[in-house]
Amino acid sequence: MYLNTLVSVLPPADRATLVKASELRSYRRNETVLAVDEWTDRFYCVGSGLLRVVEHGRGNGGDVTTEFIRRDDFFLGSSFTKDRHQATQTLIAALPSSVYLIPIAAMRKLCERHPQLSLALLDIAMKRVGVMRGQLRRVSALSSEDLVGRVLHQLTQLAPAKTGGYDKRITQSVIASYSGLSREVVNKTMRDMENRGLVHRDDHGVHVRADFVTTDFDLPLAEPGFGGAGAASLQPCS
């Protein structure tokens, strides 16, 4: 779902108002976009790059990347009924990113007049629910090796490098935090895959053999909502 697609349900004047009220900001890799407990009155729509959502535990050991937010996808936060709320997760740039910050209050005002906008937001949220259910299953049921294989394949779509594969700036610690494995296990698994010729690197990308994707697909479709952008995921650069 693109910001443009989302606001296309609005009349031009309202569209212009929303775009004007929004702010485009740039973030370096590893920069915090929104910290847990911080107050925010915005939705976040990624214009370029990749963000990750980090859920915190007690102490530093329990932090987990629950999802990635890629280009044209949204981070909707935890409340829509209030103008502002305290973030319950941290949002971090996994790659250099640019992000549209859209005021929740303005969005809600438009939703009151245009229920189609709410229905479009609901689509985005339900797509996310589908992606997260899939990830929950993989983290729960797959072996470490299958899980890492699936995550590497996902990354080729979430963070594509121009030479193919995924952007090599995505670190093993990010992969560990998303797959719920230790860095040691991820490192060992990836080294093993490299030795077997399943994974190889060049200047920009980490390349993953296409047959990785045959590892344990979600039923019934081959990951229709994968990455959160649904049908749009097939044309990430259009």
Give the nearest distance from C-beta 223 to other proteins in angstroms.
10
Give the nearest distance from C-beta 195 to other proteins in angstroms.
26
Enter the tokens of residue 132: 């997260």
Nearest to 72 by CA among 131, 20, 6: 6
Task: Select 75 or 205, whichever has its Cβ closest to other proteins.
Answer: 75
Task: Select 135 or 157, whichever has its Cβ closest to other proteins.
Answer: 135
Task: Select 115 or 164, whichever has its Cβ closest to other proteins.
Answer: 115
Give the nearest distance from C-beta 149 to other proteins in angstroms.
13
Q: What angle do CA 85, 122, 147 make, to 5 degrees?
A: 90
Task: Select 21 or 139, whichever has its Cβ closest to other proteins.
Answer: 139
The contact set with other proteins (CB under 8 A) reads 36-37, 53, 55-58, 61-64, 66-67, 76-81, 86, 88-89, 108, 111-116, 118-123, 125-130, 132-137, 139-142, 179-180, 216-221, 224-225, 230
Neighbours of 63 (CB within 10 A): 14
Nearest to 210 by CA among 153, 142, 170: 153
Virtual torsion, Cα 224, 229, 231, 234, nearest 10 deg: -100
